[in-house]
Chain A
Amino acid sequence: MRQIDPSMDDRPPSFAMPAAAPIIHVQALCKSFGKRQVLRGIDWQVPPGRVIGLLGRNGAGKTTLLRCLLGLSPVDSGDIRVFGESIAQPGGERLHRLGFVPQSFDLFPWMKVRGYLDFTAAFYTRWNAPLTERLLGEWQLDPKQKIGQLSQGQRQKLAIVRALAPEPELLVLDEPVASLDPQARRAFMDELLELMRQPGRTVIFSTHITADLERAGADIALLREGRMQFTRPLAELRQHLRRVLLRRAQGWPQPPQPPQTPGQLSVSVRGELATLLVEDADPQALQALALREGASLSIEVPSVEDLFVELA
């Protein structure tokens, strides 16, 4: 049993946005597939130079949002600006400032790895050939192998190499590590962090592997039921949010309803344990709540996975 505070939907981001113009500006974005409304009025700004981890449950609309951002999926209403310009039209060279790693990659099965990279490089004015060579070697991708013969994980690696090679200012990755083994995942994250050391680079990636977000120190953007719940730096979330555990032997027929606990974001009950996610928790108020309910109290700093489980 879990309840989420509905006022979360309208809550503005509580951290101060950097003064630089946002690299992505989304306003009132709506998108449906037939009668199924996937994105319901998304307002979102992404400042430059950040790593954004886009979180959300299956079907929350992460892939749709990312495809809309790149102009790959038409929107029903709303406005999307990337690099300050509307994505209503592709805009020529602007697309070369973007890198994209899709969930699956199947178009050119007859081509060899080298041929595919050579083909793509021919269209770019900026292409980091030494980087592609290094990554092909380190990630054990045989340039002479046909793409159709690569495993799903190898194709994902190739798609990442292809996306990194032009050194894009904005890199969008749709579950890039889903098919990768732990070594490859770690190597990919290293490359991502290396890329982020260069000034002005922005990365948005959707993932369910929350450990990667913690490692990258990413800002967390949470998409739930087609709405952006928040985009906040991980450090700030860690500083402000607390996971409150109330335990009592007789269990919880009703979730605890603390009238005196401000900042409560969600509450869930399982057996004898009630879990609250609270922003800017007041220890005294929580102690009072535990006393009133006859429960033991412990307060923890939540992990990203805890946040995902409680809020998504």
Chain B
Amino acid sequence: MSASRALLLLPLRRMPLGAGVLAFLLGGGASVLVLAGWHRSSGMATLALALALLMAANVVWHLLAGSQLRELGRREHWLLPQLKQRLLGLGLVGWLGWSLPAGGVVAVLDGARQGLLVAAASLLLSALGLCIGSGRALALWLGLAVMAADVLAPGLLRNPMFWQSQAAIVVLLALALALLWLALHPLGRVEDADPAQAPLSAVPSTPSLEGRRRTPLWRALINVFDALAERAMQRQLRRYRQQPDPARRLRLVRSLLLPHDNLAATVLRLLGMGVLVMAYVAFRQKHTPQDASFVVWYAILLALTRFPQIGRGMQRMQPHLADLYLTLAPATHAQYQQTLAQVLRVLVPGVVLNALGFTVLGLLVLHEGTPFPLLLLTVIIATAYALVALALHLIGPQGLVGRGVVNVVVVLAATLTFYLGRWLIELFGLWPGSLLLAVPALSFGIGVWLAAQQEYSRRRPVFDAPAE
């Protein structure tokens, strides 16, 4: 196999779930495009749908490619012969492959200028995917910049005249080049790597980002969280020394394994995320009045994102937990497993608190007149699905694909239950509707958690490194 072909296939081989999504989008886009050509009467709407699917595929592909680029971005990889040239060649061919067909079709149907606009938009999407995939946090600031631009120059981005002008193409191309620079420039820098974070740390990170250089703001943030974690642990240590009972022992172990889940760190995180949530909701509200239910649903899902992180972290820390195992000196394996399960259980109230906090902030921005039903709904759904998600990550599939499926199932189930709950409250009133929802949802959550805890305690602790 040639080196270029191996590089091209690398993202698909490493991330089969992403490859599946890509195949789905590409297949869908191609089918709709063929359909549009077959039934010319279907008009521009079908073509727009095909283009949307292909653009989405473009973003997904570049997300995968960016993720692999991050892996390849270690200095020792650059020693491979002609790696940079090959990557550059693949990048150029890739962009032409994504942009030219889309731009060409639009140019034929709607004129050369529109074709150029689509090609430039395609490049921007490629760059955006690459930038986010390669872990450049600055890509996320682009969204905020767009929001700010819309606030400062109201209506500009929604003005059809702007999109008809040559300036739109120039702006899109400039943004795309800026993002490409952001994504590719750091790969050439030689810098000291930052230390890794704790596997179950609540500060978001991905394993492949570990040991890489982070932005000064990010590093400062991590230092603040680490200082809070150190203080919290010292406090628990003092308490345990004063009176070494099982409850204090558990809290001490919790301060070690979940260093960023102490009260001060939770409040700080809530405030930080709250500002972003509020900015987002305020931005959306400015243009189109938001449905409060949608904001609450989003708040719940945002809080539940803690669990996929826990799932990954638990796998990563497996081999190193031997030290804790010897330190705790449990009488039986079950005792040790129960200790870990009890430590992780604290995540449930933490996630509910976060969901509630985000919901309150969102509802404040929306000036929601009757917040109580939605707050009640948040508590019920977040509690039930936090228990389910934790249970599934505790005893569920260990593979990347399996964990991905678990995450999708939890999101879908939480969404369905949320809208079912909303419907029940509308239909039967607040208390009867809430009760109708709470009894089965919480029973389900608690039942799944208890069963998972029992199964986890039955299993032997694992200290072997997880299979890649």
CB distance from A301 to the nearest CB of B (A): 39
**Contact digits for A101-113, partner B, Cβ 8 Å, 1 yes 0 no:** 0101111111110
User: Given A102-B322, A107-B323, A110-B226, does the pair A123, B233 have CB atoms closer than 8 Å?
Assistant: no
B214-250 interface code vs A (CB 8 A; 1 in, 0 out): 0000000000001001100110010011001000000
- Closest Cβ of chain B: how far from A65's Cβ, in Å? 14
Least CB distance from A219 to B in Å reads 24
Complex partner residue of A93 from B229, B237, B329, CB under 8 angstroms: B329
Main secondary structure, interface of B, reads: helix
Residues of A contacting B195 in the complex (Cβ-Cβ under 8 angstroms):
109, 146-149
Which of B233, B240, B319 lies in contact with A115, CB distance below 8 A? B233
Most chain-A Cβ atoms within 10 A of its Cβ — which of B230, B319, B326? B326
Q: Chain A: which residue is nearest B211 at the CB level?
A: A148
B313-354, CB < 8 A from A: 317, 319-333, 336
Given contacts A112-B230, A115-B230, contact A106 B196 (CB under 8 A): yes
Restricting to A55-72, which residues have a CB under 8 Å from any CB of B?
67, 70, 72
- Specify which of A92, A95, A100, A108 lies most central, judged by the most chain B CB atoms within 10 Å of its CB: A108
Given known A-B contacts A105-B320, A120-B327, A146-B195, A89 and B259 have beta carbons under 8 A apart: no
When chains A and B are docked, how far (Å) is the Cα of A149 from the Cα of B193?
10
Contacts of A93 in B (CB 8 A): 329
Q: Determine the residue in chain B with the shortest Cβ distance to A146.
A: B195
> How many Å lie between the Cα of A227 and that of B237 in the bound state?
45
Contact B331 A107 (CB under 8 A): no
B198 near A: Cβ within 8 Å?
Answer: yes
Q: Does A84 contact B (CB under 8 A)?
A: no
Distance between Cα atoms of A124 and B329 in the complex (Å): 9
Tell me if A91 and B322 are in contact (CB < 8 A). Answer: no
Given contacts A90-B333, A109-B197, A115-B233, 9 further A-B contacts (CB under 8 A): A67-B322, A73-B463, A91-B331, A94-B329, A95-B326, A111-B256, A115-B234, A118-B234, A122-B252
Query: B445 contacts the other chain (Cβ, under 8 Å)?
Result: no
Q: Does A74 contact B (CB under 8 A)?
A: yes
CA distance in complex: A93, B328 (Å) = 9
A residues near B (Cβ < 8 Å) are: 67, 70, 72-74, 89-96, 98, 100, 102, 104-112, 115, 118-120, 122-124, 146-149, 159, 162
Instruction: Tell me the minimal C-beta distance from B258 to chain A in angstroms.
Output: 11
A106 touches B320 (CB 8 A): yes
Query: Are B256 and A123 in contact, with the CB atoms below 8 A?
Result: no
Using known A-B contacts A115-B234, A122-B252, A146-B195, determine if residue A100 contacts B326 with beta carbons closer than 8 Å: yes
Which of A72, A89, A122, A123 is in CB contact (< 8 Å) with B332? A89
A107 with B197: CB separation less than 8 A: no
Bitwise interface map of B from 187 to 223 toward A, beta carbon under 8 Å scored 1, else 0? 0000000011111010000000000000000000000
Q: Of the candidates A91, A100, A119, A147, which one forms a contact with B252 in the assembled complex, judged by CB atoms under 8 Å apart? A: A119
Query: Which residue from chain A places its CB closest to the CB of B230 in the assembled complex?
Result: A115
Please give the residue numbers on chain B whose beta carbons come within 8 Å of chain A beta carbons, in ascending order. Answer: 195-199, 201, 226, 229-230, 233-234, 237, 240-241, 244, 252, 256, 259, 317, 319-333, 336, 460, 463-464
Inter-chain CA distance A119–B198, complex, in Å, is: 16
Chain B: which residue is nearest A73 at the CB level? B464
Name the residue of chain B whose CB is nearest to the CB of A101: B323
Nearest opposing residue in chain B for A96, CB measure: B329
Q: Point out the residues of chain B lying under 8 angstroms from A102, CB to CB.
A: 319-320, 322-323
A162 to B327, CA, bound (A): 10
Name the distance in Å between A221's Cβ and chain B's nearest Cβ. Answer: 22
Determine how close the nearest CB of chain A comes to the CB of B1; give it in whole angstroms: 25
Give the distance to chain B from A112, nearest Cβ to Cβ, in Å.
6
Known: A89-B333, A110-B201, A148-B197. A100 touches B233 (CB 8 A): no
Can you list 19 A-B pairs with a CB-CB distance of less than 8 A?
A67-B322, A72-B463, A73-B463, A96-B329, A100-B322, A102-B319, A107-B198, A109-B196, A109-B198, A110-B197, A110-B201, A115-B233, A118-B234, A119-B233, A119-B252, A120-B327, A122-B244, A146-B195, A146-B226
The reply to whether B198 and A110 form a contact with Cβ atoms under 8 Å apart is: yes
Q: Which residues of B contact A92 (CB under 8 A)?
A: 329-331
Per the bound structure, the CA–CA distance linking A298 and B88 in Å amounts to: 62
Partner of A67, one of B230, B241, B463: B463
* A107 close to B324 (CB less than 8 A): yes
B376 to chain A, nearest CB (A): 37
Cβ–Cβ contact B237 & A118, under 8 A: yes
What residues on A are CB-neighbors of B327 within 8 Å?
119-120, 123-124
- A107 CA to B317 CA in the complex, in Å? 6
- Contact assessment for B330 and A105 in the assembled complex, using a CB-CB cutoff below 8 Å: no
Contact B199 A107, beta carbon cutoff 8 Å: yes
Note all chain A residues with C-beta closer than 8 A to B324.
Answer: 107
Partner of B326 from A98, A105, A147, A149 at Cβ < 8 Å: A98
